[in-house]
Structure 1
Amino acid sequence: MLLAASLLAAPFSADANATFAGRIVWRGLSPIVGGVSAIELADDGRSFIALSDRGSFWTGELQREGGTLTGISATGRNLYKEDGRVMNGDSEGLALAPDGSMYLSFERRARVLRYASPDAVPEGTGRAPQWRELRSNGALEALAIAPDGALYTVAEEPDADGLFTVYRRGGEGGPWRAALRLDRVGDFKMTGADFGPDGALYLLERQFSGFSFTSQVRRIDLSRMRQEIVLRTGAGTHGNLEGLAVWRDPQGKIRLTMVADNNFHPLQQTEIVEYRLD
């Protein structure tokens, strides 16, 4: 299925009400926790995997009391590049397939790789011709897998015309194709993506003012071609939120769990924050 559509004229609505639901700071030493750019959560909201922009990969559990975040336990390792050497950079997006394999998107050399397992040497999925035009530090930042197995990815920075192109690769394989184009909101850039239990595509976006970060989450109903902003934080409320996981809690509410990239900077933290959509 090729959407070949634009949401340029689709109005933004504000039907959802996001409520802050918790925050923890993640510290660790094996490997050093930093640069975390993506996170995926199991349906229980506890088990997770996370990825850094230097090829570090963690599995662990979020600890909760009454549904509220209280702590984290995790173990880490490094992934491999296509040539079998240890990865050391530019990994940004993460998506888990039903068969247990995982996909990663990359920035400096725009591509999406498939890992049969975390200790496997990855295989390529092809490249869209347009990816050659992407800036090396603004390429494929966000990655998500749809309920039908299709992959969606979008670059951090918009195209030359100021619009974001969302690329799709069908669950049966095949080439990457432009699926839809999105208008830019302010100076926000794309940092993360996930499909929620409602089947909608959620996009995490970030704006940097020079002193602090503002984040927002855009929800796109692909079946009706409608979009809405379901969360926008105040400037400086959180750090550099880059990873997004969307799930449904035991009360039936959709939760947005996000992780901040600390850029390996001593004044920034790797924080995990959570909001509930009411």
Structure 2
Amino acid sequence: MKQLVVALLMLITGLALAPAEASSPIKTSPEGAATTSPVSFEAIPLNLEDRSKTRVGKLTYLGGLKIKSSDPRLGGLSSLIISEDGSQMLTVSDCGLWVGASLDYTNGQLTGLHNLVISPLLGLKGESLYSCDTAKHNGDAESLTELPGIGLVVGFEGWHRLWVYGATMNDYMMHKLPHPLPLPVTIMDELATLPNNGGIESLTTLKDGRTLVAISEDNPKGGDIVPAWIIGETQISRFSYVASEGFRASDLTTLPDGDLMVLERRLTLMQGLGARLKRIRKEDLRDGKIVYGEEVATLSYPYNIDNMEGIAARTGPDGKTLIYIVSDDNYFPLQRTILMMFRLED
């Protein structure tokens, strides 16, 4: 999938310039100094042809950023967590990295970020998983969620697995060792059959703080109906998610009311680049259920998107639901790392 993304984007995208970079302060951890990386950003419009547009589907645009850094490790961002107050973001890179930053707002609009921190994910023996070669050194991190009081759960592709890091958004850079998420052998066997680049890219924690929902990107048998799991403390259920019209699920988040929001992406030569958000009602999360989801918004040209792979939600100061999406640039110079913020209009 990533090879197709790069090849097609060579045909349909172009380079853009960014303002000068500024260094961020230094943060420290018990294992030593973790310096922040230089970062620059510029505001981007929702619509490339009409900068006055702020609405798409049931979403109202509240600002977006194109993010750049002279640190070559920035890129490949997959999945997204935003703190409850909106001040911090955390994501993982498909080259085996944590990537976090502080977010800035003006009158409720996303206007900047600082304190960009990049730190390697660790393996079971404490080794760095950072690698951007073809094999990616088993560090192809594609999904992320937090189990309160337990840690951050990271889903990997290639070697399909879920690992738990005993860390929070505030101390992910402190070199925490992972532990495999205990799953039944049958589930591990199912994960092993998923396509190499079609594993669990969508992962979230339900409102109970103890239950995970995971959706695979592809079905090993082909088709638009992909396997999904509800992973509880004592029971695991299976359902199916329908990803139609060339779209595939790339991330998942839990909304404040307990429903789920799926971020889907599409890139074909005929249809171009697209992103779609679909809502899954919490009552549809049942064993054996085939879930279609309800379309919230679809973005394609002239809407200003890239290869969108991460989504997060939180409650704003006015009680409204805020949605954030982030892109994976595949470490390819013709793509961009962009972060966008929306208000969900019911």
TM interval, shorter chain, is: 0.7 to 0.9
Distance in structure 2 (CA, Å) of the matches to 1:18 and 1:70:
18
User: Given residue 231 of structure 2, which amino acid in structure 1 is its aligned partner?
Assistant: R
For 1:130, what is the secondary structure of its paired residue?
Answer: helix
Query: What is aligned with 1:120?
Result: 176
Aligned length: 260
Query: What is aligned with 1:51?
Result: 92
Distance in structure 2 (CA, Å) of the matches to 1:236 and 1:110:
35
Deviation at 1:168, TM superposition (A): 2.0
Between 25-34 and 41-50, report the one with greater CA deviation: 25-34
Query: What is aligned with 1:5?
Result: none
Deviation at 1:159, TM superposition (A): 4.4
Between 93-102 and 190-199, report the one with greater CA deviation: 93-102
Query: What is aligned with 1:168?
Result: 230
Deviation at 1:30, TM superposition (A): 4.6
Which residue, 292, 298, 301 being the options, matches 1:232?
A: 298
Conserved in 1, the CA contact under 8 Å of 2:79 and 2:201? Answer: no
Deviation at 1:182, TM superposition (A): 1.7
Query: What is aligned with 1:203?
Result: 262
For 2:99, what is the secondary structure of its paired residue?
Answer: strand
User: Given residue 296 of structure 2, which amino acid in structure 1 is its aligned partner?
Assistant: V
Deviation at 1:58, TM superposition (A): 2.2
| Deviation per residue, 1:15-45 (Å, 9 max, x gap) | x721222110112245621000121001112
Conserved in 2, the CA contact under 8 Å of 1:140 and 1:155? Answer: yes
Which residue, 154, 165, 177 being the options, matches 1:104?
A: 154
Which residue, 196, 204, 228 being the options, matches 1:136?
A: 196
Deviation at 1:272, TM superposition (A): 0.2
| TM-score between both structures, scaled by the size of structure 1 | 0.87
Conserved in 1, the CA contact under 8 Å of 2:142 and 2:201? Answer: yes
Q: Which consecutive unaligned segments of at least 5 residues does structure 2 have?
A: 1-56, 131-138, 286-290
User: Given residue 141 of structure 1, which amino acid in structure 2 is its aligned partner?
Assistant: E
Deviation at 1:85, TM superposition (A): 1.2
Q: Which consecutive unaligned segments of at least 5 residues does structure 1 have?
A: 1-15
Q: Percent identity?
A: 26
Distance in structure 2 (CA, Å) of the matches to 1:236 and 1:115:
39
RMSD (Å) for aligned C-alpha atoms:
2.0
User: Given residue 166 of structure 1, which amino acid in structure 2 is its aligned partner?
Assistant: A
Q: Which has the higher helix share?
A: 2
| Deviation per residue, 1:194-239 (Å, 9 max, x gap) | 1111111111100102384200111111225683111211246300
User: Given residue 299 of structure 2, which amino acid in structure 1 is its aligned partner?
Assistant: T
Q: 1:178 and 1:224, CA in 2 relative to 1: closer, same or farther beyond 3 A?
A: closer
Query: What is aligned with 2:136?
Result: none
Distance in structure 1 (CA, Å) of the matches to 2:222 and 2:119:
40
Matched, 1:76 2:118: yes
